[in-house]
Structure 1
């Protein structure tokens, strides 16, 4: 007879553990209110499920074990899929949801049957599960608290000691031009496309030249990953210099890099010049939202935190099947591209418009005509660069849409704007290119698209190997009369675990 008072809390802890874990590892970019709402909904659903099993079975401990078993499979299904995909012998095609769900369902039925039929009291197992899950959730809470403490200690360092970015002509008269800074994520430079993809991108470059753009065909990214590249370009500094100024590591701390992207020098300077900031939100943490912007335009309908939560659960078997997140990703990109020319009417100028377009970077959601490719769904979560043709098709479509964006911006402009179209880094060449030397691979992966529309003869100061770190140094000097020194154009490739791989420049 069950006399000992044992609380059955493990089903609730299992249910909320992914929500707490995801928040702990994306703390800087998720508002706590969203987590709170998710946790409350999950706890209520778990309570209803537990009561249902209690009504069916009539035994609290058995119903608790069954509820936990079902919930464990449900909330961790996506993690299991990711693990299978990570195996060396696996591929996206290897995972068929119908077979995996069927297998897990049979296992669950067997486990439920065994729990119902057992004559054991299950008190000790309940205690064990309570302790294990409590420890698991507490680890995530400790992670969250440590980040809160870290943020509190470094709050005073949030604003960088600025690089004397002040205008020497504070009383300058006239109308400032709107500035559009468009990042095409993972867009390969002309040389990379020509030499390794055997694709001639001249049609697009000729279009840019015909509209008055300067295209720096020998330009290289300063860093080979997005969070480091944007931290550098938007603050007009190399990361070692930024680290010295804020007294905190950046290279191995994505959270600090995200903060630098949000609280960046470029937007700060322009706000002081009277600019209004318009930011297009993405589903990537670093550019998800900018609290310093006057307007955040969010073309997505599902918050990234909720998307991650859904994708870690059994719901993934359904969303993958109907191309749910691929369609949402497509819609966000198309919406952003269509709204870019419309920003002029959103707020009185001058305006600085920042748009991070996560394309032609995978997932593959466009063919060259803009249709949804069938294989795009398989690659959505794997960040797989391996399909050369899929990459080229997506790039070709993005070319056509960028041409539309440029036409729209120029038609709407009363004063010719500044337009920068730039990739944060080149494409990853993947396993197929291990035959190339590191130097060849690094040059290929760092060669980027870097195009400038600078009115009033501003392009006369540009040069063919200008890198993103100097983009706004040059623009601010010419249009706002600052005295910023141009930095040496350097590239750092494969920076990880504190190891800096400097790509020597022959410019």
Structure 2
């Protein structure tokens, strides 16, 4: 009976390919890929598998040949990324990794296979048996790895902070303390006024005077602790430097995903909640029990963990931008159209972030204690605004000047929102304003990575007691100082330092595509 069952199912070896592929990716990135992304890709690859088989069956009218063609074609599809990486890293075969060679070669091989199987009179019984056994063994291996990951709770190893949440466990709520509402407002890639003066020769007097007139403390010499958003923010919200391997100098896509994982269940939000605060997540990241109101901005990163391994996903990542407006031959015209498309996507997002922030401030219940986190993707690229917030017409203007204009517009949004908060809270709320890092696009300039750390860092305390604040305080100490001030925690302050890291090739590819489209 089992023998008969085996002979019936062995031809359908190709069905196990997408199952093996998804299990392998899940094990490699265990705990980092959200379930909804896994499900979406699983449905897509199931549909692809069925479509390839139906095409082959229509062409061959032969079950064995249809299954064999489906297995090999899907093998090309799911294994393309790994093969391309292998060729690119090989000293002798690197030239073969060119898309000009690989894509035509894949097409020729599949076409040749299609024709060969059609003309062949062989039974292919041994090959079918081999493929079924091979994919079954590999599938069993992946299932063993999955079991080990689940039993050993290996997803916790992705946490670069304190997965045990020691500071949270040791925190004792303070019943007699003053407990103001807290607004943490982050402007992505907002550099310091000091940096604008030094490297742009621009005096940001509007913002400087506003902070002075409204009694903010400003850390003029502030430097972010990391120059990547998904490292900088976990550092701030965990109130500690990330636990990275010794000699760690380059960050890849998987590392940034681990940063997001660390942020998901961070110490700051947990301490606020233990103190009785309600957390309102208007950031660009999901956090435990608090999904981002505006959606996840970096969801593409974990999506690429799956799609980048495939023929379609890798090709679209690397050269897909060539397909943008393919019927427009003039490069400047194509870039202009891409710029308009980018504006139409980003502008509503920025406007909605500001509108949602004001709605949240207006709806705040004075009888409750609230911690708000607003995250503006400004003045971060793409640089689509002029200094007044109007759409910037496309042009090859110097990137530093485009950034400066967008920083001016970001300053206007900042002042508008802070005025709104102060008016609604009657100056009784804590307001923290920060850039997660500084301007990072310094083409051809020396020490550009060092400049990338200089960031906006200002805080308003209702009692205006800034005794323990000092010029040069960095984001890692932001909430240590705040909790010491209001909740009497007596946390030691950490050394303020910036840790210089670089992009690995996979991140250069991902961010290179994004910048080209901007």
TM-score (norm 2): 0.69
After TM superposition, the structure 1 = structure 2 runs for residues 8-87 of structure 1, keeping only pairs within 5 Å, are 8-16=11-19, 19-32=22-35, 35-36=38-39, 38-40=41-43, 42-68=45-71, 70-71=73-74
CA distance in 2, matches of 1:77, 1:346: 51
CA distance in 2, matches of 1:489, 1:57: 68
Query: 474-483 or 8-17, which moves further after superposition?
Result: 8-17
Question: Are the equivalent residues in 1 in contact too, given 2:343–2:391 (CA < 8 A)?
Answer: no
**Paired residue secondary structure (2:46):** helix
Q: Offset of 1:279 from its aligned partner?
A: 1.3
Question: Are the equivalent residues in 1 in contact too, given 2:229–2:436 (CA < 8 A)?
Answer: yes
Question: Are the equivalent residues in 2 in contact too, given 1:223–1:491 (CA < 8 A)?
Answer: yes
TM-score (norm 1): 0.70
2:384 is matched with: 366
After TM superposition, the structure 1 = structure 2 runs for residues 381-392 of structure 1, keeping only pairs within 5 Å, are 388=400, 391-392=403-404
Q: Offset of 1:418 from its aligned partner?
A: 1.6
**Paired residue secondary structure (1:297):** coil
CA distance in 2, matches of 1:346, 1:131: 62
* Shift in CA distance, 360/388, structure 1 to aligned 2, threshold 3 Å: same
**Paired residue secondary structure (1:456):** coil
After TM superposition, the structure 1 = structure 2 runs for residues 121-270 of structure 1, keeping only pairs within 5 Å, are 121-127=123-129, 129-130=131-132, 144-151=146-153, 158-162=163-167, 165-166=171-172, 170-172=175-177, 176-196=179-199, 200-239=203-242, 257-270=259-272
CA distance in 2, matches of 1:474, 1:65: 65
State whether structure 2 residue 473 is matched by structure 1 residue 485.
no
CA distance in 2, matches of 1:325, 1:201: 28
CA distance in 2, matches of 1:318, 1:117: 39
CA distance in 2, matches of 1:183, 1:228: 14
1:314 is matched with: 312
2:430 is matched with: 418
CA distance in 2, matches of 1:300, 1:424: 17
State whether structure 2 residue 494 is matched by structure 1 residue 475.
no
Aligned residues: 454
Consecutive unaligned residues in structure 2, runs of 5 or more: 1-5, 91-97, 246-253, 326-337, 505-518
* Shift in CA distance, 153/80, structure 1 to aligned 2, threshold 3 Å: closer
State whether structure 2 residue 361 is matched by structure 1 residue 340.
no
CA distance in 2, matches of 1:72, 1:325: 35
Q: Offset of 1:219 from its aligned partner?
A: 0.5
Q: Offset of 1:464 from its aligned partner?
A: 1.8
Question: Are the equivalent residues in 1 in contact too, given 2:435–2:456 (CA < 8 A)?
Answer: yes
2:372 is matched with: 353
**Paired residue secondary structure (2:486):** helix
* Shift in CA distance, 186/30, structure 1 to aligned 2, threshold 3 Å: same
Question: Are the equivalent residues in 2 in contact too, given 1:224–1:493 (CA < 8 A)?
Answer: yes
Q: What do the CA deviations read for 1:22-50 (whole angstroms, capped 9, x no partner)?
A: 54454434443652454245325522441
**Paired residue secondary structure (2:437):** coil
Q: What do the CA deviations read for 1:300-346 (whole angstroms, capped 9, x no partner)?
A: 69964557656766374499737689865665444333312222355
1:290 is matched with: 287
* Shift in CA distance, 333/111, structure 1 to aligned 2, threshold 3 Å: farther
**Paired residue secondary structure (1:277):** strand
* Shift in CA distance, 306/265, structure 1 to aligned 2, threshold 3 Å: closer
* Shift in CA distance, 441/123, structure 1 to aligned 2, threshold 3 Å: same
2:274 is matched with: 272
Question: Are the equivalent residues in 1 in contact too, given 2:362–2:424 (CA < 8 A)?
Answer: no
Question: Are the equivalent residues in 2 in contact too, given 1:365–1:373 (CA < 8 A)?
Answer: no
* Shift in CA distance, 277/4, structure 1 to aligned 2, threshold 3 Å: closer
CA distance in 2, matches of 1:406, 1:452: 11
Consecutive unaligned residues in structure 1, runs of 5 or more: 88-94, 244-251, 377-385, 498-507
Give me the CA root mean square deviation. Answer: 4.8
Q: Offset of 1:59 from its aligned partner?
A: 1.9
2:414 is matched with: 402
Q: What do the CA deviations read for 1:179-214 (whole angstroms, capped 9, x no partner)?
A: 121233333333444444555544444444444433
CA distance in 2, matches of 1:234, 1:430: 28
**Paired residue secondary structure (1:465):** coil
CA distance in 1, matches of 2:351, 2:86: 32
CA distance in 2, matches of 1:19, 1:405: 44
Question: Are the equivalent residues in 1 in contact too, given 2:437–2:453 (CA < 8 A)?
Answer: yes
CA distance in 1, matches of 2:68, 2:32: 35
